[in-house]
Copies of this chain bind each other. A is one copy, B any other.
Amino acid sequence: MIVALDAHGTDAGPEVIVEGARAAAADGIALRVFGEPGELAGLEQVEGVEVVPAAQRIANEEEPVRAVRAKPEASIVRAAADVAAGRSDALVSAGSTGAAMAASLFALKRMRGVHRPALAAQLPVPGGPVLFLDIGANAEVQPRHLVQFAYLGSAFSQAVLGVIQPRVALLSNGEEAGKGTQVVVEAHEQLAATRGIRFAGNVEGRDIPAGAADVVVTDGFTGNVALKLMEGTARMFAGEVREAARSNPLAIAGGLLLRPALGGLRRQLDPNVSGGAIMLGLRGVAVIGHGSSSGEGIANAVRLAARAVEERAVERTEALLEAGGVLRRRRRRPPVEVS
């Protein structure tokens, strides 16, 4: 098992990459780390870690597709190509999300019969994460895309998150089948008639944090807005509680006494625990970590990628899509060779 790790793009700089790579290597995961050797001091000496020089980088501000095409030597592009060439088994990046999506799509290619790959996040919810997709790969979708997202999410939830018969729901503005945009209403109809997944109907925004489903499917526009709103609301709430716990001596004492008990919530909301978002619907595994990842976050992103490979997530996803009969009908295209 070898994971290709992009060393560029973390907010905290290459130190978290070094720390994360060490921790993952200690778990027995071999790594090929793409970055500037001078910035990754000491990593060469770690057993199972190989540093592959790649000085070029893609910044968050760059237009992703153009940048990925224009910079074949960028660390994310090199790392993705490494997986495509079979030298590594999975890709991990905590750099520009757009660039990581574009690079992994170009290099790893769409799964045969998949219309659109989707980016899935693990939402921190009491009782275990909710897999939420699409969070930004496709701002606009058609009903058949949402149907495939349900299968992509269900397969990943089962294979990698270990959920038995995951409940898959469609995000809408009402629980009734007829609620939502025309695209959502049609997707609901199609999902209600599918097999191989456990379709739980529509859920509303308030049902997500309540854990009403294991997988929640939506378009990339709504998903992106919802994910960031949830993060922002949790941050606002935490800030207000922190503020209150500083407001007077009694409150300060109360905050200190309560602090240990809040550790579980802090850990639940820490994006470093889940390891990051996952590109689903590709012919390989690609994990996109939070730019703000700590060393632990990087290590968990690598572990998540390794688990996806070990659990044969890609093959199991293909099998589920096939069994569900929701693959795109091949027209006259010749079979695409995986390079």
Q: A-side interface residues toward B, CB under 8 Å?
A: 125-126, 136, 139-140, 171-174, 179-182, 184, 204-210, 218, 220-222, 224-241, 244-245, 247-248, 250-251, 253-262, 264-265, 268
* Complex contact B231–A206 (CB within 8 A): yes
Chain A to chain B contacts (Cβ below 8 Å), 30 pairs: A125-B236, A172-B225, A173-B221, A174-B224, A184-B221, A204-B228, A205-B225, A205-B228, A205-B232, A206-B231, A206-B235, A208-B229, A208-B232, A210-B235, A210-B236, A221-B222, A222-B222, A229-B233, A230-B233, A234-B237, A240-B264, A241-B241, A241-B262, A248-B261, A254-B255, A254-B256, A254-B257, A254-B258, A255-B258, A258-B258
CA distance A125 to B229 in the complex (A): 12
* Complex contact A241–B265 (CB within 8 A): yes
Interface SS of A by simple majority:
helix
Cβ contact of A258, chosen from B173, B208, B251, cutoff 8 A? B251
* Complex contact A225–B259 (CB within 8 A): no
Residue of B nearest to A256 (CB): B254
Residue of B nearest to A240 (CB): B265
Residues of B close to A259: CB separation below 8 A: 254
* Complex contact B181–A139 (CB within 8 A): yes
